[in-house]
Amino acid sequence: MDVLNVEYMLGLVPVLLRYLPLTLQLAGIGMVFALILACLFAVVRVLRIPVLNQLTIVFISFFRGTPLLVQLFLFYYGLPQLFSALTVIDGITATIMGLTMHFAAYMAESIRAAIVGVDRSQTEAALSIGMTNGQLMRRIVLPQATRVALPTLMNYFIDMIKATSLAFTLGVTELMGATQKEAAGSFLYFEAFIVAAIMYWIVVEILSKLQNYLEIRLNKAYSR
Protein backbone atom coordinates (compact mmCIF):
# COMPACT_ATOMS: atom_id res chain seq x y z
CA MET A 1 0.00 0.00 0.00
CA ASP A 2 1.26 3.45 -0.92
CA VAL A 3 1.59 6.05 1.78
CA LEU A 4 -1.11 8.66 1.96
CA ASN A 5 -0.40 11.65 -0.27
CA VAL A 6 -0.78 14.28 2.44
CA GLU A 7 0.43 17.12 0.26
CA TYR A 8 -2.32 16.39 -2.27
CA MET A 9 -4.88 16.26 0.48
CA LEU A 10 -3.87 19.65 1.88
CA GLY A 11 -3.92 21.13 -1.59
CA LEU A 12 -7.41 19.77 -2.10
CA VAL A 13 -8.86 21.48 0.97
CA PRO A 14 -9.16 25.01 -0.50
CA VAL A 15 -10.40 23.58 -3.80
CA LEU A 16 -13.20 21.60 -2.19
CA LEU A 17 -14.04 24.39 0.27
CA ARG A 18 -15.31 26.43 -2.68
CA TYR A 19 -18.12 23.88 -3.12
CA LEU A 20 -19.13 23.70 0.54
CA PRO A 21 -21.38 26.80 0.27
CA LEU A 22 -23.50 25.11 -2.38
CA THR A 23 -23.88 22.04 -0.17
CA LEU A 24 -24.99 24.22 2.72
CA GLN A 25 -27.33 26.21 0.50
CA LEU A 26 -29.03 23.08 -0.78
CA ALA A 27 -29.60 21.90 2.77
CA GLY A 28 -30.55 25.34 4.06
CA ILE A 29 -33.12 26.07 1.37
CA GLY A 30 -34.42 22.52 1.51
CA MET A 31 -34.81 22.82 5.28
CA VAL A 32 -36.80 26.06 5.10
CA PHE A 33 -39.23 24.66 2.53
CA ALA A 34 -39.42 21.33 4.32
CA LEU A 35 -40.26 23.05 7.62
CA ILE A 36 -43.05 25.09 6.08
CA LEU A 37 -44.49 22.06 4.34
CA ALA A 38 -44.12 19.89 7.44
CA CYS A 39 -45.96 22.43 9.60
CA LEU A 40 -48.82 22.54 7.10
CA PHE A 41 -48.98 18.74 6.97
CA ALA A 42 -48.89 18.48 10.75
CA VAL A 43 -51.72 20.99 11.20
CA VAL A 44 -53.80 19.21 8.56
CA ARG A 45 -53.22 15.91 10.36
CA VAL A 46 -53.93 17.26 13.84
CA LEU A 47 -57.12 19.08 12.81
CA ARG A 48 -58.07 16.10 10.61
CA ILE A 49 -59.11 18.41 7.80
CA PRO A 50 -61.19 16.23 5.49
CA VAL A 51 -59.66 15.19 2.12
CA LEU A 52 -56.41 17.07 2.83
CA ASN A 53 -55.81 14.73 5.76
CA GLN A 54 -56.11 11.62 3.59
CA LEU A 55 -53.94 13.14 0.86
CA THR A 56 -51.32 14.08 3.42
CA ILE A 57 -51.27 10.57 4.87
CA VAL A 58 -50.61 9.09 1.41
CA PHE A 59 -47.98 11.74 0.61
CA ILE A 60 -46.13 11.14 3.87
CA SER A 61 -46.31 7.39 3.46
CA PHE A 62 -44.90 7.59 -0.08
CA PHE A 63 -42.02 9.90 0.73
CA ARG A 64 -41.06 7.92 3.82
CA GLY A 65 -41.49 4.61 2.07
CA THR A 66 -39.27 5.16 -0.96
CA PRO A 67 -35.53 5.88 -1.25
CA LEU A 68 -34.49 9.50 -1.57
CA LEU A 69 -32.40 8.63 -4.63
CA VAL A 70 -35.46 7.25 -6.40
CA GLN A 71 -37.35 10.42 -5.53
CA LEU A 72 -34.56 12.62 -6.87
CA PHE A 73 -34.55 10.71 -10.15
CA LEU A 74 -38.33 11.00 -10.34
CA PHE A 75 -38.11 14.78 -10.05
CA TYR A 76 -35.10 15.19 -12.32
CA TYR A 77 -35.85 12.74 -15.11
CA GLY A 78 -39.52 11.97 -14.53
CA LEU A 79 -41.16 15.37 -14.19
CA PRO A 80 -39.92 16.84 -17.50
CA GLN A 81 -41.31 13.79 -19.24
CA LEU A 82 -44.75 14.38 -17.69
CA PHE A 83 -44.88 18.15 -17.99
CA SER A 84 -43.20 19.57 -21.04
CA ALA A 85 -42.97 23.01 -19.38
CA LEU A 86 -40.48 21.51 -16.98
CA THR A 87 -37.91 20.46 -19.57
CA VAL A 88 -35.49 22.93 -18.06
CA ILE A 89 -35.67 21.57 -14.51
CA ASP A 90 -32.06 21.66 -13.35
CA GLY A 91 -30.27 19.42 -10.90
CA ILE A 92 -30.28 22.01 -8.14
CA THR A 93 -34.05 22.56 -8.36
CA ALA A 94 -34.72 18.84 -8.48
CA THR A 95 -32.47 18.27 -5.46
CA ILE A 96 -34.22 20.95 -3.43
CA MET A 97 -37.62 19.55 -4.39
CA GLY A 98 -36.60 16.04 -3.44
CA LEU A 99 -35.01 17.05 -0.14
CA THR A 100 -37.99 19.23 0.71
CA MET A 101 -40.61 16.57 0.19
CA HIS A 102 -38.60 13.70 1.62
CA PHE A 103 -37.71 15.51 4.82
CA ALA A 104 -41.08 17.26 5.13
CA ALA A 105 -42.65 13.80 5.32
CA TYR A 106 -40.44 12.84 8.24
CA MET A 107 -40.59 16.18 10.02
CA ALA A 108 -44.38 16.38 9.73
CA GLU A 109 -44.67 13.35 11.99
CA SER A 110 -42.30 14.83 14.60
CA ILE A 111 -44.15 18.13 14.56
CA ARG A 112 -47.49 16.36 14.76
CA ALA A 113 -46.35 14.39 17.80
CA ALA A 114 -45.11 17.59 19.43
CA ILE A 115 -48.41 19.34 18.75
CA VAL A 116 -50.41 16.47 20.19
CA GLY A 117 -48.09 16.57 23.18
CA VAL A 118 -49.14 20.11 24.11
CA ASP A 119 -51.44 19.82 27.10
CA ARG A 120 -55.00 19.53 25.83
CA SER A 121 -56.36 21.75 28.59
CA GLN A 122 -54.51 24.74 27.10
CA THR A 123 -56.37 24.16 23.87
CA GLU A 124 -59.65 24.24 25.75
CA ALA A 125 -58.60 27.37 27.61
CA ALA A 126 -57.77 29.10 24.32
CA LEU A 127 -61.09 28.09 22.80
CA SER A 128 -62.92 29.13 25.95
CA ILE A 129 -61.73 32.72 25.59
CA GLY A 130 -62.97 32.80 22.01
CA MET A 131 -59.81 32.13 20.00
CA THR A 132 -60.20 30.61 16.55
CA ASN A 133 -58.42 27.38 15.65
CA GLY A 134 -55.85 29.37 13.69
CA GLN A 135 -55.08 31.71 16.58
CA LEU A 136 -54.86 28.75 18.91
CA MET A 137 -52.31 27.05 16.67
CA ARG A 138 -50.21 30.11 15.98
CA ARG A 139 -50.09 31.59 19.46
CA ILE A 140 -50.30 28.68 21.85
CA VAL A 141 -49.70 25.28 20.31
CA LEU A 142 -47.04 25.76 17.63
CA PRO A 143 -44.66 27.83 19.80
CA GLN A 144 -44.68 25.10 22.43
CA ALA A 145 -44.54 22.27 19.93
CA THR A 146 -41.57 23.87 18.17
CA ARG A 147 -39.55 23.79 21.36
CA VAL A 148 -40.32 20.12 21.83
CA ALA A 149 -39.63 19.23 18.20
CA LEU A 150 -36.52 21.35 17.72
CA PRO A 151 -33.88 18.79 18.73
CA THR A 152 -35.41 16.22 16.38
CA LEU A 153 -35.67 18.78 13.60
CA MET A 154 -31.98 19.58 14.07
CA ASN A 155 -31.25 15.90 13.57
CA TYR A 156 -33.13 15.97 10.29
CA PHE A 157 -31.17 19.04 9.22
CA ILE A 158 -27.94 17.15 9.87
CA ASP A 159 -29.28 14.21 7.86
CA MET A 160 -30.24 16.59 5.10
CA ILE A 161 -26.73 18.04 4.86
CA LYS A 162 -25.39 14.54 4.33
CA ALA A 163 -28.19 13.73 1.89
CA THR A 164 -27.21 16.66 -0.35
CA SER A 165 -24.31 14.49 -1.50
CA LEU A 166 -26.81 12.57 -3.65
CA ALA A 167 -27.18 15.70 -5.77
CA PHE A 168 -24.00 14.76 -7.64
CA THR A 169 -26.01 11.99 -9.33
CA LEU A 170 -28.10 14.76 -10.93
CA GLY A 171 -24.95 16.45 -12.21
CA VAL A 172 -24.77 19.08 -9.46
CA THR A 173 -21.21 19.99 -8.54
CA GLU A 174 -21.54 20.39 -4.81
CA LEU A 175 -18.99 19.07 -2.33
CA MET A 176 -19.47 15.44 -3.33
CA GLY A 177 -19.64 16.18 -7.06
CA ALA A 178 -16.46 18.26 -6.89
CA THR A 179 -14.63 15.57 -4.97
CA GLN A 180 -15.67 12.99 -7.52
CA LYS A 181 -14.26 15.11 -10.32
CA GLU A 182 -11.00 15.81 -8.51
CA ALA A 183 -10.55 12.15 -7.70
CA ALA A 184 -11.23 11.10 -11.25
CA GLY A 185 -8.49 13.45 -12.43
CA SER A 186 -5.83 12.44 -9.91
CA PHE A 187 -6.77 8.80 -9.32
CA LEU A 188 -6.15 9.52 -5.64
CA TYR A 189 -9.63 8.36 -4.61
CA PHE A 190 -8.90 7.60 -0.99
CA GLU A 191 -7.25 10.96 -0.35
CA ALA A 192 -9.99 12.91 -2.10
CA PHE A 193 -12.91 11.20 -0.38
CA ILE A 194 -11.30 11.27 3.05
CA VAL A 195 -10.93 15.04 2.70
CA ALA A 196 -14.60 15.33 1.71
CA ALA A 197 -15.64 13.05 4.56
CA ILE A 198 -13.75 15.16 7.08
CA MET A 199 -15.43 18.31 5.77
CA TYR A 200 -18.90 16.83 6.21
CA TRP A 201 -17.84 15.57 9.60
CA ILE A 202 -16.70 18.99 10.81
CA VAL A 203 -19.91 20.67 9.66
CA VAL A 204 -22.02 18.04 11.40
CA GLU A 205 -19.94 18.28 14.57
CA ILE A 206 -20.47 22.05 14.70
CA LEU A 207 -24.20 21.56 14.29
CA SER A 208 -24.27 18.88 16.98
CA LYS A 209 -22.60 21.27 19.39
CA LEU A 210 -25.19 23.91 18.51
CA GLN A 211 -27.91 21.33 19.04
CA ASN A 212 -26.66 20.50 22.53
CA TYR A 213 -26.52 24.16 23.40
CA LEU A 214 -30.04 24.76 22.13
CA GLU A 215 -31.36 21.78 24.02
CA ILE A 216 -30.01 23.11 27.29
CA ARG A 217 -31.47 26.53 26.55
CA LEU A 218 -34.84 25.09 25.59
CA ASN A 219 -35.10 22.98 28.71
CA LYS A 220 -34.91 26.19 30.68
CA ALA A 221 -37.52 27.97 28.57
CA TYR A 222 -40.81 29.06 30.08
CA SER A 223 -39.61 28.43 33.61
CA ARG A 224 -38.57 31.90 34.73
Residue 111, C-beta contacts closer than 8 angstroms, at least 6 positions apart: 38, 39, 41, 42, 145, 149, 153
**CB nearer to another protein: pick between 61 and 135:** 135
Nearest-approach distance from CB 123 to another protein, in angstroms: 9
Which range binds another protein by CB under 8 A, 8-16, 55-63, 90-98, 141-149?
141-149
Under the binding rule (CB under 8 A), the answer on residue 85 touching another protein is: no
Which range binds another protein by CB under 8 A, 11-19, 97-105, 107-115, 131-139?
131-139
CB-CB contact of 200 with 19 (8 Å): no
Nearest-approach distance from CB 149 to another protein, in angstroms: 14
Instruction: State how far the Cα of 27 lies from the Cα of 21, in Å rounded to an integer.
Output: 10
Q: DSSP string covering the chain, please?
A: -PPP-HHHHHHHHHHHHTTHHHHHHHHHHHHHHHHHHHHHHHHHHHHT-TTHHHHHHHHHHHHHHS-HHHHHHIIIIIHHHH-GGGTT--HHHHHHHHHHHHHHHHHHHHHHHHHHHS-HHHHHHHHHTT--HHHHIIIIIHHHHHHHHHHHHHHHHHHHHHHGGGGGGGT--SHHHHHHHHHHHH--HHHHHHHHHHHHHHHHHHHHHHHHHHHHHHHTTT--
Nearest-approach distance from CB 172 to another protein, in angstroms: 40
Within 110-129, the residues that bind another protein by CB under 8 A are 119, 121-122, 124-129
- Counting residues that bind another protein (by CB under 8 A) gives 21
Within 146-165, the residues that bind another protein by CB under 8 A are 147
Which range binds another protein by CB under 8 A, 71-79, 89-97, 204-212, 216-224?
216-224
Selected binder of another protein within 5, 53, 144, 186 (CB under 8 A): 144
Nearest-approach distance from CB 59 to another protein, in angstroms: 28
Nearest-approach distance from CB 120 to another protein, in angstroms: 9
Selected binder of another protein within 67, 117, 143, 171 (CB under 8 A): 143
Nearest-approach distance from CB 222 to another protein, in angstroms: 5
| Residues at the site binding another protein, with contacts judged by CB under 8 A | 119, 121-122, 124-132, 135, 139-140, 143-144, 147, 222-224
